[in-house]
Amino acid sequence: MSMQSPNSKSEKIQSALMAVLSGFWYEFKQNRGALYGLIFVTILAFVAIFADLVAPFSPIEQYRDFLKLPPIWVEGGNWDFILGTDALGRDQLSRIIHGSRYSFYIGFIVIFFCLTIGIFLGLVAAFNKGYVDTFIMRLMDIILAFPSLLMALALVAILGPSLENAMIAIAVVYIPHFVRLTRAQALSELGKDYVSSSKTMGASSARLMFINVLPNCMAPLIVQATMSFSSAILDAAALGFLGMGAQPPTPEWGTMLADSRQYITSDPWLMGIPGLFILVTVLSINLIGDGLRDALDPKMKSNK
Amino acid sequence: MTKDAILKISNLTVSLPSRAERPYAVEDVSFEVFPGEILCIVGESGSGKSMSSNAVMGLLPKPQVYISQGEILFEGQDLAQISDREMQKIRGSKIGMIFQEPMTALNPVMKVSKQLEEVFKSHHLKLSRKQIKAKIIEMLDDVGLPDPKIIGNSFPFELSGGQRQRVMIAMALALEPTILIADEPTTALDVTTQAQILKLIAALQQKRDMGVIFITHDFGVVAEIADRVIVMQFGKIVEQGSADQILNRPKHPYTRKLISTVPHLGAQKKAPVTSDVVVTVKGLNKTYGDASTGWFKKAGRVVHASKDVNLEIRKGETLGLVGESGSGKSTVGRCIIRLHSSDSGEVLFDGEDILKLTNAQMMPMRKQIQMIFQDPYASLNPRRKIGDIITEGPTIHGIPKAESWKRAEELLEIVGLDKVALKRYPHEFSGGQRQRIGIARALAMDPKLLIADEAVSALDVSVQAQVLKLLDDIKNKMDLAMLFVTHDLRVAAQVCDKIAVMKLGEIVEYGNTYDVFHNPQHAYTKSLLDAVPGKQWKVPDLSGV
């Protein structure tokens, strides 16, 4: 078997992977909400990637002849600007489409930082019971003691308002959740005999952490990552709305809300449309998270 | 058996969901229970023995698992047909049940007396508060609990396993049911406690003239208390008859196979092993807990898990370390392999004290000592393939993948598995197969000392026999020294050359297996041997028939 050509080996691994994936897909499909969420997010992701081709106009170009044009289903709508224009005459649809890019960008960057740092700190805490563990966990407790948005606001105030700094602030606020989850999972796995067995073989801490324990902790972490993805979008929008996130004229959804705040009574769709997109996107991702949990966590499955 | 049957089950079939491995959990099962008898249902895991009793109690996980055919006649009613509400009335009042795990079967945040009160209240008996109180005390007294008042005022976690099981029995019998169903009630208990509980059940059953359905996997327990025996396999009854008939003159090949795998209690006289000493343990001490206080911590309870333990194992010798739970037997094994640190003492391995080595110096020693674990489900990493699991050790020690992979193939053959197993994941294997994989993993390091920590305790008796035989073969073939940690005296008698009996962290008796079993010196050893269920039953020799 050791003589096997690398080709057939990778093929076999592929077929095994396919089997695992199809089983996972079967479980995931059982949850209708998750399926719809996935469809919406897929479309949105497609639109975000090809925003330059899909969007009818540039998101920052101002059409001074068409200020505050309502969407087409409201009287006075114009088919050129399907979702209307904002106070400066920019096409809302194009801004929404380009804004979706920022939402995904925020989500992915925040989750990337949370996962890498959170998993690392969580594993270090779990493997070094004593002072290291106490230090890491109490630090996380301190971060958790602040209301998350307030903490993010304070961090942005220190770093200066920009989309990048907002993402860093949000990541810092979310990291404790990942550290705690990783640590709790790792601790329960550490008590199992397969870890003892590796220890008796003389496995190093790094090997125990990343090869033996981490893969067994991933399922809840993936679910947590999905849920945090949507919260990150929401928090970034909130920071944008408060003027602490993306700066104009960036077509970020939260910033769009902030820009049109003064028209909330006269032209409600100016705030309504970006607000609706934030809502549906966050909801869809949360539904996907639910579906993932059902599919990945065997304990939740049993009572169905 | 002149009385009428109180429970009559005929042609009972319980269906499983379509994705299960077989269509029926219980298939065409018929039996009767008479007042004043203990009926034992024996079988290996998955034989449907618990499912049949759950069907009687209306405890099947409906709607996936349901009774598709047959009737359960009890006091003129067919329990298979009645509504959940009517079942509720019968459950507890006319049919009592006790479970395997007394900790989970009791509500952990409710005092014992409160839980017993619940029993009366839920069946709407017209009793005054005083009457209930008196009744509770009487019940607790009946099941042999000392100081019923104090016990009644305790929470379940304050009681020992045996006391909890007694409370469970008191609860099940509170309303004087005519049938008691006991589902492996002593499996989670130590031998001495098990013996007491078995005695208690038998005494109560005689006093109240109840019918008892006793579900177990242990033929020793059957020999101890059964009047009649039913043997089940794959959801079907393969044989039923009187205890004497089944135990001493079994007819069905499956029963014969099961009984032939029960280890004999009597140890054979073996010549003492005189080869080189592999490992010597001198004055090993280990305590858990810390009595000192600090800024953020309060003083803990200190437990001596190992107190001045001395052992010696030779090449090709098996030393049995026996004791009840909490005796420190596993701790000693884990201290030797340095999974736990020790407080003081020496472990001389080839003349070198390995407790004093640094982690780096320990590395070459790691290869020499390997361990086989109890739970075959937790001891293999579920996310790695068998091949990766077996070759992990050699890889850590720098052996090229191709070479260790080849060795893994040979090892699988030695432990009786096909080499295609290398590419599969642990969940595709049964408990016995997994334990074989665990053995192959330990052998991949070419150890000189093998520590088997309750290695066969989680296995069915027929699988247990196979794994024990495999371990013995390997030990002889590779001339290994083996430390065999177990709570099961029958198993110890079968495989060990020498025995060390542990109690509360101390070795109270240490000698040749034959001497320990036939001429025990210490009172504790005597009480352990005395508590082995079914010790009067001489396992019939069914070989060669």
Which token pair is B11? 């042609």
- Mean pLDDT, chain A, rounded, equals 84
- Whether the CB-CB separation of B434 and B467 falls below 8 Å is answered with no
Q: Does B409 touch chain A (CB under 8 A)?
A: yes
The Cα B53–Cα B92 span in angstroms is 14
Render pLDDT for B153-202 as a digit per residue (tens, 0 to 9): 888 888 887 888 888 888 888 888 888 888 888 877 788 888 888 888 88
Angstroms from B70 CA to nearest CA on chain A: 27
Burial B202-231 (b: 16+ CB within 10 A, else e): bebbeebebbbbbbbbbbbbbbbbbbbbbb
Domain membership flag for residue A3: no
pLDDT of residue B103 exceeding 80:
no
Q: Is A141 exposed, middle or buried (0-12, 13-18, 19+ CB in 10 A)?
A: exposed
Q: Which of B313, A204, A240 is nearest to A195 (CA)?
A: A204
Q: Is the pLDDT of residue A200 over 70?
A: yes
Distance from CA of A216 to the nearest CA of B (A): 7
Roughly what angle, to the nearest 10 degrees, separates helices B386-396 and B431-443?
Answer: 20
Taking the Cβ of residue A6 and every Cβ of chain B, the question of whether any pair is shorter than 8 Å is answered with no
Q: Of residues B254 and A84, which shows the higher confidence score?
A: B254
Q: Closest partner residue to A2 among B362, B406, B441, by Cβ? A: B406
The pLDDT score that the predictor gives to residue B450 is 92
The CA-based angle A170-A172-A174, given to 5 degrees, is 70
Q: How far does the CA of residue A192 sit from the closest CA of chain B (Å)?
A: 6
* Mutation for testing the A interface, residue in B337, B392, B451 having most A CBs under 10 Å: B392
Residue B470, SS3 per DSSP: helix
pLDDT of B138 above 90: no
Is the pLDDT at B353 greater than 50? The verdict is: yes
The side-by-side arrangement of strands in the sheet containing B95-98 is B95-98, B179-183, B211-216, B38-42, B228-233, B236-242
Please give the span between the terminal C-alpha atoms of chain B, in angstroms, as a whole number. 32
What confidence tens digit (pLDDT) does each residue in A48-90 have? 888 888 888 888 888 888 777 888 787 777 777 878 888 888 8
Interval B122-140 mean pLDDT: 81
**In this structure, how many other beta carbons lie within 10 angstroms of the beta carbon of residue A147?**
10
pLDDT of residue B109: 86
Q: Is B256 on the interface with A (CB under 8 A)?
A: no
Confidence of residue B543 (pLDDT cuts 50, 70, 90): low
Structure confidence at residue A3 as a pLDDT band (50, 70, 90) = very low
Identify the burial level of B442 via C-beta atoms within 10 angstroms of its C-beta, where 0-12 means exposed, 13-18 middle and 19 or more buried: buried
**Residue A303 with chain B: CB contacts under 8 Å:** none
Q: Is B1 on the interface with A (CB under 8 A)?
A: no
d(CA A62, CA A59) in angstroms, rounded, equals: 8
Q: Is A168 on the interface with B (CB under 8 A)?
A: no
How would residue B53 be classed by pLDDT, with cut points 50, 70 and 90?
A: confident
Contacts of A202 in chain B (CB under 8 A): 362-363, 366-367, 393, 396-397
Reported ipTM exceeds the 0.95 cut: no
Give the residue from B70, B53, B13 showing the smallest Cα distance to B216: B53
Report pLDDT for B1: 45
Mean pLDDT of chain B: 85
- Would you give the distance in Å from CA A76 to the centre of its chain? 37
Residue A23 lies in a domain: no
A207 reaches B (C-beta below 8 A): yes
pLDDT of residue B173: 83
Please give the model's pTM, rounded to 2 decimal places. Answer: 0.79
- Amino acid A303: pLDDT: 38
Q: Between chains, do B369 and A215 touch, taking CB under 8 Å as contact?
A: no
The answer, for A30 touching chain B at a CB cutoff of 8 Å, is: no
| Chain A contact set for B383 (CB, 8 A) | 215-216
The answer as to whether A34 is a domain residue is: no
Task: Give the lowest-confidence range in A8-17, B18-27, B127-136, B453-462.
Answer: A8-17
Residue B293 has pLDDT above 80, yes or no: no
Cβ atoms B177, B94 nearer than 8 A: yes
SS3 state at A37: helix
- Report chain B residues whose CB lies below 8 A from the CB of A212: 381, 384
Q: Is A8 on the interface with B (CB under 8 A)?
A: no
Chain B partners of A198 at a C-beta cutoff of 8 Å? 381, 392
Q: Does residue A80 belong to any structural domain of this protein? A: yes
Which residue is closest to B450 within chain A, CA to CA? A200
Please check the confidence at residue A7 and state whether its pLDDT lies above 60: no
Nearest CA in chain A to B434: A194
Structural domain spans, chain B: 313-344+359-530
Q: For residues B478-500, give the mean pLDDT.
A: 89
| CB proximity A216 to B under 8 Å | yes
At residue B448, does pLDDT exceed 50? yes
Specify whether the CB–CB gap between A214 and A123 falls below 8 A.
yes
Token duo for residue B57? 């109690």
Interface check for B246 against chain A (CB to CB < 8 A): the answer is: no
Comparing A304 with B105, which gets the higher pLDDT? B105
pLDDT per residue as tens digits for the range B358-383: 888 888 888 889 999 988 888 898 88
Max Cα–Cα distance, chain A, nearest Å: 77
Beta carbons of A200 and B366 less than 8 Å apart = yes
Q: B364 is written with which tokens? A: 């070459």
DSSP 8-state code for residue B262: S
Q: Average pLDDT, stretch A20-26?
A: 75
- What's the topology of domain B313-344+359-530? Rossmann fold (3.40.50)
The answer to whether position A7 is within a domain reads no
Looking at the predicted structure, is the pLDDT value of residue B267 above 90?
A: no
Residues A93-130 have pLDDT tens digits of: 888 899 888 888 888 999 999 999 999 999 999 998 88
Cβ of B407 under 8 Å from any chain A Cβ? Answer: no
Contact B116, B168 (CB under 8 A): no
The pLDDT value given to residue A11: 60
With CB atoms and an 8 Å threshold, state whether A212 touches B405: no
Dihedral over Cα of B158, B159, B165, B170: its sign? negative
A128: domain CATH number is: 1.10.3720.10
Is B297 near chain A, with CB under 8 Å? no
> Does A193 lie at the interface with B, CB-CB under 8 angstroms?
yes
Look at residue A26 and tell me if it is in a domain.
no
Q: Which domain holds residue A107?
A: 43-301
Neighbours of B146 (CB within 10 A): 9
Q: CA-to-CA distance for B118 and A271, rounded, in angstroms?
A: 58
User: Taking CB atoms and an 8 Å cutoff, what residues of chain B touch A203?
Assistant: 392, 396
Q: What is the average per-residue pLDDT within B221-243? A: 89
| Portion of chain A with pLDDT greater than 90, in percent | 24
Question: Quick check: B71 pLDDT over 90?
Answer: no
Q: Which 3-state string (H, E, C) describes B483-532?
A: EEEECCHHHHHHHCCEEEEEECCEEEEEEEHHHHHHCCCCHHHHHHHHHC
Task: For chain B, say whether A200 makes contact (Cβ under 8 Å).
Answer: yes
B398-403 long-range contacts (CB < 8 A, ≥24 apart) are B401/A2, B402/A2
What pLDDT does residue B299 have? Answer: 62
Task: Indicate the SS3 state at residue B77.
Answer: strand
- Which of the 8 DSSP states describes residue A45? H
Q: Where are the beta strands (DSSP E) in chain A?
A: none
Total domains, chain A: 1
Burial of A248: CB neighbours in 10 Å, binned 0-12, 13-18, 19+: middle
What are B509's two structure tokens? 């008796």
pLDDT at A14: 64
| Greatest Cα-to-Cα distance within chain B, rounded to the nearest angstrom | 78
**Pick from B19-33, B307-321, B408-422: least confident:** B19-33
The CA distance from B494 to B468, in Å, is: 9
Of A1, A194, A215, the CB nearest to B405: A1
